[in-house]
Structure 1
Amino acid sequence: MKKQLYIVLIAVFCILLLDQIMKIWVKTSFDIGGDGNTMPVFGSWFRLLYIENQGMAFGTTFGSSIWAKLGLSIFRVIAICAIAYYFVKQWRNGAKTEFLIAIGFVFSGATGNLIDSMFYDFIFDYDPCISFNHLEGSGVFSDCGQWGTIETRHTGFLMGNVVDMFQFTVEWPSWVPWYDKNGDNQIFPAIWNVADGAISVGVIMIILRQRKYFPKENKKTAAVQAASTEENTDKTEE
C-alpha cells in the first residue's frame, strides 16, 4: 500500500517539476513576438511556441470579467481537492497501481496549471501591453504608449496566465475532403504544456483501461445482465 503511494507521489512530483521547469525556461528564455518565441524540435511537425492563455487547458475561457477568471481558478481548486479525495479513497480500497497513476496524472496536470494562476503574477514582471495580457471587456485599462490605451486582464492571486509551449504543426493532406486551400489545415492546432499532456494521458488511460481498473463493477454488471436475460427467457418459455 505504501509502495503504491510512493510511486504515485514520485510520478506527480516529476510531472509538476518538469511542467514548471519548462514553463519557467520558456518564459525567461523566449522573446515575445516574431520568430523569437518559436523553436523547431522535430523537423517540420513539432515545435515550441511560447504563448500564454488566460483560461483552461488548450486556451478555453469563461469570459472577460474578474469573476469569470476567479470562478475558473476556484473551479480548479475544487476539482483538485475532489481528485485528491477520490485518489485517497481508491488507494484505501486497494485500487490497481496503474489506475492510481492515471489519477495522479490528472491531479498533477490540474495542479501544474493552477500554480501558474496562483503565483506567476508575483514571480514575473507584468507587462499589460503584451498581447497575452490583452482582454477586451475586462474594464481594466493601461496606457501602452504608441498603441494607445488598451484593456488588459486582471492580475493577482489566482488571476495569472497559464504558459503553453508545445505545438504539433502537421497539416491535413490536400486530398482530404475538408482541406481548405485558403485556411489553416493543422490537424491539432492547440498549443499545450506538460500539465495539459498529463491530464490528457490520465483521462485516456482511464477511458481505455476502465475494465481493468474496475473489474468488480464490470463483473457485477455482467451478473445483473445475465440474471435479467435468464428471467426473460423463463418468462418466454412459460
Structure 2
Amino acid sequence: MKFPDRIPRIAWAAYGFALAIIVLDQWSKAWILNGLELRDVGRVFVFPPVFNISYVENTGVSFGLFGGGSARWVLSLFSVVVAAGLAWWATQADRRLLITAIGFVIGGALGNAIDRIRFGYVVDFLDFSGTGVFPWVFNIADSAITIGVVLLILDSVLSDRRAAQVGVVHEKS
C-alpha cells in the first residue's frame, strides 16, 4: 500500500470533509467543557425527554461500547491506522458518495482519537436516551462515523446496481 506520487483532487475532498468533522467535533467538545461547563453541571435539559445535553466520559469506543479505559492507547492507535488506511483508499476512489463516506469516517475516528490521547476518554454529550429507543450518549465524531458507514453501505449498493445495469446494457449490445 503506497500513496500515489500525486494525490487526486477528489481525495482532497475526503480530507476536507475529515478536517471539517474534526474541527466541528473538537469545537463542540471545547464548548461543552469550557463554554457550557457541562462537566460541572452534568446535564442540560433541552427538549426532555427526547433530547438533552449530558456530560459523559466515554472510555470505550463509539457509544460507550467496550469501556473501561484500559484500551486507551490501543483504541487511539487503531483509530489512526484506520484513518490512514481510509486516507489511502481516498486516493483510489472515484465516486463522490464514497469520498464523502471516507471523509466522514476519517474525521470521526481522528476526532475521538484526539480526545483519547488528550484526556484518556472521549467526551460525549448528545443524549437521546430519554426516548428509551437509543440509550447511548454520543458526540459529533460518533455521528460522523455512523453516517460515514451508512454512506459506505449505500455507495456499495448503488455501485453494485450500476455494475449490474452496465452488464445488462453490454449483454443487449
| TM-score (norm: length of structure 2) | 0.79
The partner residue of 2:79 within 76, 79, 88 is: 76
**2:64 — aligned with what?**
59
CA distance in 2, matches of 1:213, 1:42: 40
Describe how 1:117-196 pairs up with structure 2 within 5 A.
117-118=116-117, 120-121=118-119, 160-171=120-131, 186-196=132-142
Partner residue in 2 for 1:111: 110
Which residue does 1:210 correspond to in 2? 156
Q: Can you give the 5+ residue segments of structure 2 that lack an aligned partner in the other structure? A: 1-7
Map of 1:7-86 to 2, 5 A cutoff? 7-28=13-34, 29-32=36-39, 36-61=41-66, 65=70, 68-86=71-89
Question: Comparing both chains, which one has the higher relative contact order based on Cα–Cα distances under 8 Å and sequence gaps of 6 or more?
Answer: 2
- What corresponds to 2:164 in structure 1? 219
Contact 1:32 1:50 in 2 (8 A): yes
CA distance in 1, matches of 2:106, 2:88: 11
Instruction: State the AA in 2 paired with 1:208.
Output: L
Return 5+ residue gaps in structure 1 as ranges: 122-159, 172-185, 227-238
Aligned AA (1:211): V
Matched residue count: 161
User: Cα–Cα, structure 1 residues 77 and 7, in superposed 2: closer, same or farther, change >3 Å?
Assistant: closer
Counterpart residue identity of residue 28, structure 2: M
> Using the alignment, how far apart are the partners of 2:91 and 2:151 within structure 1?
19
Instruction: Report the CA distance between 1:24 and its aligned residue.
Output: 1.0
Instruction: Report the CA distance shift for 1:55/1:64 in structure 2 as closer, same or farther (over 3 A).
Output: closer
In the alignment, which residue of structure 2 is the partner of 1:98? 97
> Are the equivalent residues in 1 in contact too, given 2:129–2:137 (CA < 8 A)?
no
Q: CA–CA distance in 2 between the matches of 1:40 and 1:163?
A: 18
Deviation at 1:32, TM superposition (A): 3.7
| Mapped contact 2:60–2:69 kept (Cα < 8 A) | no
CA distance in 1, matches of 2:67, 2:108: 19
CA drift at 1:6: 4.3
Distance 1:73 1:8, change over 3 A: closer
Deviations 1:38-94 (A, max 9, x none): 1233353111111111121111226564xx33222222222121111112222xxxx
SS in structure 2 opposite 1:209? helix
Aligned partners of 1:164 and 1:7: how far apart in 2?
A: 27
Question: Which one-letter code corresponds to 2:90 in the other structure?
Answer: F
State the identity as a percent.
31
Structure 1: which 4+ aligned runs deviate by more than 6 Å?
none
Q: Is the 8 A contact 1:62 1:69 kept in 2?
A: no
Give the secondary-structure state (helix, strand or coil) at the position aligned to 2:137.
Answer: coil
> What letter is aligned with 2:17?
A
TM-score, normalised to structure 1, is: 0.59
